[in-house]
Structure 1
Amino acid sequence: MPVRFGYLGLTMTKAKLHTTAVILAAGLGTRMKSSLPKAMHRLGNRPMITHLIETAKQIFDDVVVVVGPDMPELERATQPYRTVVQSERLGTGHAAKMAESLFGDGDVAILYADNPLITAQTMHRLLDARRSGASLSLLGMRPSDPGKYGRLIEENGHVLRIVEYKDATEAERKIGLCNAGVMCADANDFRRWLSELGNNNAQGEYYLTDVVEMAARSGQVLCVEAPEEELAGVNSRAELARAEATLQQRMRQAAMDGGVTLVAPETVFFSADTQISQDVVIEPNVFFGPGVKIASGSVIRAFSHLEGCTVGEGAMIGPYARLRPGTHCATNSHVGNFVELKNVELGTGAKANHLTYLGDASIGAGTNVGAGTITCNYDGVFKHRTVIGERTFIGSNSILVAPVEIGDDALVAAGSVITENVSATALALGRARQCEKPGRGLAIKHALKAKKEQG
């Protein structure tokens, strides 16, 4: 089975009682300095919100996303899950309240779109803690630099309240356990607490963290600890880069655990949906864009870029190869250095080993495409297809002007411009006849030198 990075190979059993995940995603991401909603910034070539939804749907029965006004791209990215709009940004408590009609009757977890790397196991632990008798469970972490995170104030293993850094005493600021924001409680309890929230603070906002103290007064509040790299928020470009590094490390480890050889793991970059089977070898400095599937026994050589393509068993790709969307390289096919394929079917055992562009083409089994070959697939308005048969030989520096078909076992002479179909087994030459003029080369050289001396 190939490694599927979107889920990192994890399957969790959903709890029996109904559960709902509410994801708060209305933030503009001012610190990102971007016109995109914060939740639409990408990790592993997919939006942050998609990562969190894909994980949450493994654990929760329903997913609801709270978006801001005028965020159509975010609403499209969350489909088919329900969204509600927080038309005024009056704090996290206000955002959660916008979704209370969709809480359902079971347990509700409040998640944040800028915490995209929470794992399914941690979400499951959050639910387990809630159902162990706690009125509310929440996630906490012990970052290497607690900085300005809110601190969790505990007594006898139970959380009493959250104190924000700016309001904390010196003793409280020394506490290492910090709030990650995520919490889980019974839907009716959440509704009651949200109705009691006030905005008597400097920002005039309704803070979701205030429900912790309410929950502690009526029952137990339990903290579930998770690693910093899993819970750290993404609020700036620098934090986005750190989250990307964490995600890439997870995916590299999952690939190696699944039987993939990474010669230099830290130089390989995956997308969240990359699928790689066992016994694949990936050399240094390879980039996988979205939509790539690699079959067993293939070798992806150094400095190659793959996107929207499939690679069959035993294929050899690169070095310095580029496979673009729509490309399928069949079993034991070869794509060599400085070769670009776009929307190409490369047949079993077929080879394009050097300095070639093939676009919108079908290449038959056992065919060899020589260095410098180009399929001219675009006339400025329309794309056209080139079809090359099996066991055909395309000589170096050939130009194939589509639409054109070349039959099985044909031979195209080097340097040819092919504008008409070539029959099976035929030899095709499409170049000017060579002629020779004795002594003329030296005469031209002398004439040019004389011009140069005369300025």
Structure 2
Amino acid sequence: MKIAAVILAAGQGTRMKSALPKVLQQLGGRPLVQYAAELAQAIGVAAPTFVVGHGMDAVQAAVGSAAQFVVQAEQLGTGHAALQAAALLRASAELVLIWYADMPLLRPETLHAVVAAQQANRGPLTILTATADDARGFGRVLRDPKRRVRAVVEEAHATRRQLAMRELNAGVYCARADWLWKELVRLPASPKGEYYLTDLVGVAVAQRRNVASVQLSATAELIGINTREHLAEAETALRLRINQHWMAAGVHLLDPASTYIEPGVQLAPDCVILPNTHLSGTTSVGAHSTIGPNSIVRDSVVGANCRIECSVIESAVVEEDVRIGPLRICARAHIWRAACTWAILARSRTPILARK
């Protein structure tokens, strides 16, 4: 079945207290919206459709030409946002996968599982759920005694009993395209005049049609970014994921909690990363090299068997068998104000202080 992806990226993110649109906030050195674009590519969707609104020009620039865009001019809810893609996608796919651009930790495997569940489902809709103690504002999934999904209730409209439930709607939907576009038009308005994707569950149940579900096993994927606190939480979860990946690949991290590696970095087996080290951008580090402690390497190539300590390396090429740092200031030294730069001779290991 051909799959279309609709990614909701129109929200203002007022709780971020920022001039930037929420989906342009940085996580791991890149905008949130780029994670959504890369996720779509990873599951085989060549041209995902982004629903944009607030700051749409900047959002489109961040995503680039590998996507298509539709505009939600009025903020009338998630159902209304998804409906904006109908004219563009109505005849282009059999299944439509919908998720939010502010969920950067979703994995390709998770979306594949949702799609597979819908392909096996005789009904029109599959949702992603998770069980968590911290509800974080997510809607609650209601089931009948036979464990069939019967409804999703938004937290703002939930009863006290429903609020105590711990199965949450994660905000990922896969639907049959013909059914989706027809039913989005018919969604009832909320008391605030908004239209919610969650109401699709009730629509399908009222039609006596099955709503399938897939449950998240890793709740870190559930993190949606609405506040600065959420962004910091996602940074911690992303750092853990990246560091675990590199340790499994043969990289030694002495203290993963104080090691910061961005997603675009490449590390060879048997290199060593010491505490308080930041590796960012397109940096690559060769085998048997040691970086840190207290070092920053950004957009640079570090060859094999190097030692970089207490240094900042930016947009540089460090050849093999090079030692850089640490810089030591001797007792009773006098430092005057001057415009200086350090040049490192890669083969001689000799630091040269040159005045501009």
Same fold (TM over 0.5): yes
- Superposed, 1:297-312 pairs within 5 Å as 297-312=288-303
User: How far off is 1:147 after superposition?
Assistant: 5.4
Q: Which residue of 2 aligns with 1:245?
A: 236
Q: Could you report, residue by residue, the CA deviation over 1:166-211 in whole angstroms, capped at 9, with x for unpaired residues? A: 3223332222101111100111111011111132x22111111111
Tell me if the contact between 1:40 and 1:47 (Cα under 8 Å) persists in the aligned partners.
yes
Q: Which residue of 1 aligns with 2:119?
A: 131
Comparing 285-294 with 98-107, greater Cα deviation is found at 98-107
User: Given the superposition, is the C-alpha separation of residues 314 and 269 from structure 1 closer, same or farther in structure 2, using an over 3 Å criterion?
Assistant: same
Work out the CA distance in 2 between the residues paired with 1:220 and 1:58: 28
- Superposed, 1:284-433 pairs within 5 Å as 284-318=275-309, 320-325=310-315, 327-338=316-327, 357-358=341-342, 363=345, 366-370=347-351, 373-376=352-355
User: 1:85 aligned to 66, 71, 79, which one?
Assistant: 71
Residue 26 in structure 1 maps to residue 7 in structure 2: no
Work out the CA distance in 2 between the residues paired with 1:132 and 1:247: 32
Work out the CA distance in 2 between the residues paired with 1:102 and 1:182: 20
- Superposed, 1:29-44 pairs within 5 Å as 29-44=13-28
Q: Which residue of 1 aligns with 2:36?
A: 52
User: How far off is 1:157 after superposition?
Assistant: 3.0
Residue 268 in structure 1 maps to residue 268 in structure 2: no
User: 1:207 aligned to 196, 211, 217, which one?
Assistant: 196
Identity over aligned residues, as a percent? 33
User: Given the superposition, is the C-alpha separation of residues 298 and 147 from structure 1 closer, same or farther in structure 2, using an over 3 Å criterion?
Assistant: closer
Work out the CA distance in 2 between the residues paired with 1:223 and 1:305: 44
User: Which of the two has higher C-alpha Rg?
Assistant: 1
Residue 278 in structure 1 maps to residue 243 in structure 2: no
SS in 2 for 1:269: strand
- Superposed, 1:187-198 pairs within 5 Å as 187-198=177-188
Tell me if the contact between 1:281 and 1:299 (Cα under 8 Å) persists in the aligned partners.
yes
Q: Structure 2: which 5+ residue stretches go unaligned?
A: 329-339
Work out the CA distance in 1 between the residues paired with 2:293 and 2:108: 33
Comparing 22-31 with 81-90, greater Cα deviation is found at 81-90
Work out the CA distance in 2 between the residues paired with 1:147 and 1:50: 23
Tell me if the contact between 1:117 and 1:231 (Cα under 8 Å) persists in the aligned partners.
yes
User: 2:165 aligned to 171, 175, 180, which one?
Assistant: 175
SS in 1 for 2:236: helix
Q: Which residue of 1 aligns with 2:336?
A: none
Q: Structure 1: which 5+ residue stretches go unaligned?
A: 1-16, 340-355, 377-400, 402-455
Work out the CA distance in 2 between the residues paired with 1:119 and 1:375: 49
Residue 100 in structure 1 maps to residue 78 in structure 2: no
SS in 2 for 1:278: coil
Work out the CA distance in 1 between the residues paired with 2:261 and 2:274: 13
Work out the CA distance in 1 between the residues paired with 2:84 and 2:61: 19
Which structure is higher in RCO with an 8 Å CA cutoff and minimum separation 6?
A: 2
Paired AA for residue 95 in structure 1? A
User: How far off is 1:216 after superposition?
Assistant: 2.4
Tell me if the contact between 1:180 and 1:232 (Cα under 8 Å) persists in the aligned partners.
no
Q: Could you report, residue by residue, the CA deviation over 1:367-424 in whole angstroms, capped at 9, with x for unpaired residues? A: 2424xx3344xxxxxxxxxxxxxxxxxxxxxxxx5xxxxxxxxxxxxxxxxxxxxxxx
User: How far off is 1:338 after superposition?
Assistant: 3.4
Tell me if the contact between 1:157 and 1:222 (Cα under 8 Å) persists in the aligned partners.
no
Residue-pair matches, total: 337
Work out the CA distance in 2 between the residues paired with 1:333 and 1:88: 57
Tell me if the contact between 2:11 and 2:54 (Cα under 8 Å) persists in the aligned partners.
no
Paired AA for residue 138 in structure 2? Y
Paired AA for residue 242 in structure 2? M
User: 1:234 aligned to 216, 221, 225, which one?
Assistant: 225
Comparing 124-133 with 62-71, greater Cα deviation is found at 62-71
User: Given the superposition, is the C-alpha separation of residues 138 and 150 from structure 1 closer, same or farther in structure 2, using an over 3 Å criterion?
Assistant: same
Q: Which residue of 1 aligns with 2:129?
A: 140
Paired AA for residue 79 in structure 2? G
Residue 254 in structure 1 maps to residue 245 in structure 2: yes
Work out the CA distance in 2 between the residues paired with 1:148 and 1:236: 12
Tell me if the contact between 2:284 and 2:301 (Cα under 8 Å) persists in the aligned partners.
yes
TM-score (norm. length: structure 2): 0.90
Tell me if the contact between 1:52 and 1:117 (Cα under 8 Å) persists in the aligned partners.
no
Paired AA for residue 282 in structure 1? I
Paired AA for residue 33 in structure 1? K
Comparing 287-296 with 142-151, greater Cα deviation is found at 142-151
Tell me if the contact between 2:7 and 2:49 (Cα under 8 Å) persists in the aligned partners.
yes
Q: Could you report, residue by residue, the CA deviation over 1:252-274 in whole angstroms, capped at 9, with x for unpaired residues? A: 00010000000011100111111
Work out the CA distance in 2 between the residues paired with 1:185 and 1:168: 25
TM-score (norm. length: structure 1): 0.71
Work out the CA distance in 2 between the residues paired with 1:162 and 1:35: 33
User: How far off is 1:112 after superposition?
Assistant: 0.3
User: How far off is 1:248 after superposition?
Assistant: 0.4
Tell me if the contact between 1:20 and 1:60 (Cα under 8 Å) persists in the aligned partners.
no
